[in-house]
Structure 1
């Protein structure tokens, strides 16, 4: 059974654009590489041909996975997000209890996560720890580095 994932409109468009690129330009490039390798002689001893065929298999696997993801994607209506507690697409201002450092993250799907943009996955240890918490509560997060406590300062959309 396929897993339903939730995306912003922009996140889903990005996935669809990547899928379209792989199906058109990606496949065309791969066909060209295979043709080039085939022209180099005996296929039974042609390492370039074998490598190109392997790369083609990986490309097709990636396309199939993206098609499955897009087919099971749902767009989240941001206007219906409850800001009384942390949920997907919530922007959360938290305070690291030990370091006394204030951080701001937006919780997104795993595929949209990008730490440089301040977007963390709801599947990450921090994301899981923050889900369902309200302003003023302390989230106890278990990470590979150990237990960390975050105080929820603000929840916005």
Structure 2
């Protein structure tokens, strides 16, 4: 089983989400029981909606619980160096356009493209791992190959 890197903060969020989902269980069970009391289950929209909600809730709980043992919780304050690894904030320059982009490389459970946080499993993340400032990389993106120059690599600590 491979491990999935995650920050302490990200792991805490996942655990909080799991606790919140588990707190919903009694509400869903109650909604199913109340809907069942309404009679004919074949035409009982409330019952079917509650059962569907229960299925989605249990699936999410099972998914999170299955991932927790795979997490490698990383203390972001201990990261550093020249090479791009999990936790690095990297500024890239598109070789063709000169446009700069800055990304922080995190695990898949913490990625948020709108905030500039990309997964180590994304095409850009994979291309950058192990590289250093000054290197050039070719990213096999869905829209084709993109060449980037690595402008800077820094380690900032926890991501908010």
User: So what's the TM-score if we normalise by structure 1?
Assistant: 0.91
* Distance in 2 between residues matched to 1:134 and 1:80, nearest whole Å: 18
Which residue is equivalent to 2:98? Answer: 100
Cα deviations across residues 69-113 of structure 1 (Å, max 9, x unaligned)?
Answer: 122212113344342111111111111111211111100000100
What is the aligned-residue RMSD (CA, Å)? 1.5
Secondary structure, counterpart of 1:19 in structure 2: helix
Which residue is equivalent to 2:158? Answer: none
Which residue is equivalent to 2:47? Answer: 49
* Distance in 2 between residues matched to 1:28 and 1:93, nearest whole Å: 47
Which residue is equivalent to 2:62? Answer: 64
The one of 107, 110, 115 aligned to 1:109: 107
Inter-CA distance 3–34: structure 2 relative to 1 (3 Å threshold):
farther
Cα deviations across residues 13-71 of structure 1 (Å, max 9, x unaligned)?
Answer: 000000000001x2133123212321221224324313321321221111011112122
Which residue is equivalent to 1:137? Answer: 135
Contact 1:96 1:150 in 2 (8 A): yes
Q: Where in structure 1 are there 5+ consecutive unaligned residues? A: none
Structure 1's consecutive aligned runs of 4 or more residues displaced over 4 angstroms after TM superposition are none
Query: 46-55 vs 129-138, which deviates more?
Result: 46-55
Q: Count how many residue pairs are aligned between Structure 1 and Structure 2.
A: 155
User: So what's the TM-score if we normalise by structure 2?
Assistant: 0.89
Structure with greater proportional helix content: 1
* Distance in 1 between residues matched to 2:104 and 2:141, nearest whole Å: 18
Q: Where in structure 2 are there 5+ consecutive unaligned residues? A: 156-160
Which residue is equivalent to 1:154? Answer: 152
